[in-house]
Chain A
Amino acid sequence: MTDHEPTHLTDADEAAVDDAYVDGNALAGDLLEIFAMDMTTAVGTCGGCGRTAVLAAARVYRRAPGVVLRCAGCSHVLGRIVRAPDRVVVDLAGLRSISARLPD
């Protein structure tokens, strides 16, 4: 998104800047790399409002210095992932709990 836009926005895109997120599902690759299991189907409890939802349905903002995972209900920051050349920093402190099904 740039200042001298918007020439190529789609029909419904008038409010594009506030729709600059995708779903937790889009993080499947990063989460699988970190946790070695699919975490997008894990159920998280929001530390802000108590809502429970699969991580796939959380909001992901990643046009930023890192990835920010937010509650789709209250926008509370559920987690952050920052990738440096030699490490990845993961903070999921905004989730009260995560319940993940173990691979059979």
Chain B
Amino acid sequence: MAPVTRGFGGRQHAQQPELPPGQYLVEDFPVLSAGPTPHVPPDRWELTVTSETGEQLRWDWDAFHALPQEDVVVDLHCVTRWSKLGTSWRGVSLDTLLADVETSADHVVAHSYGGYTTNMPLDELLHHKAWVAHTYDDEPLSPEHGGPARLLVPHLYLWKSAKWLTGLTLTPVDEPGFWETAGYHNEGDPWREQRYWGD
């Protein structure tokens, strides 16, 4: 048994009932980084959606902003146990981005500048549950938080909301991404506390 360190409480980690199990509330917005932060100028940014047949849709910054924009307020749950409530974002719904895509694939891999990947079932991105966001709190999304644009899938742990998003690839077969191949749960539902393999 480890000795208790008298006088040490740790950063607030008491659980709150309105949060998913094992999460604690933060007021700031922690920055996690698994590598150097890419600095992509918007005029060199692009987003592609590639279907399993290789067909590709492509938006540059202007074309992306010409799409219908939505404002959303969502809660964020990071697998490192912090949750942040009521964050406001502006971006394009995945329903809009995927509307004209012919596909029979069931899975998606998100690709980021810098090489990060994460996977999820296509269904998790549809029905007004996911966005590609470029504005946070009325300000252009900063590089530390994934700007120019990041995926926002707030009903899953935040590692699924790929920062620095540049591509979505539709795949017939599930292809686990960066953390999913290294011990983290393939689905990542915070309410079912799907943190690690086997959870």
Residues of A within 8 A of B (CB): 1-4, 17-18, 20, 61, 63-66, 68, 70, 75, 77, 80, 82-85, 87-89, 91
Contact = CB atoms under 8 A, between A and B. Distances in A.
Interface residues of B, number: 29
B31 interface: yes
B196 A64 contact: no
Interface of B: 28-37, 78-80, 115, 142-145, 159, 178-179, 181-184, 195-198
A68 B183 CA distance: 13
B106 to A, nearest CB: 25
Given A2-B30, A65-B80, A84-B196, A17 B179 contact: no
Nearest to A5: B28
Nearest to B181: A91
A3 B29 contact: yes
8 contacts: A3-B142, A17-B143, A20-B33, A64-B33, A65-B34, A66-B34, A66-B184, A75-B35
A20 B196 CA distance: 25
B33 A17 contact: yes
B196 A1 contact: no
A63 B31 contact: yes
Contacts of A83: 183
A38 to B, nearest CB: 23
B144 A61 contact: no
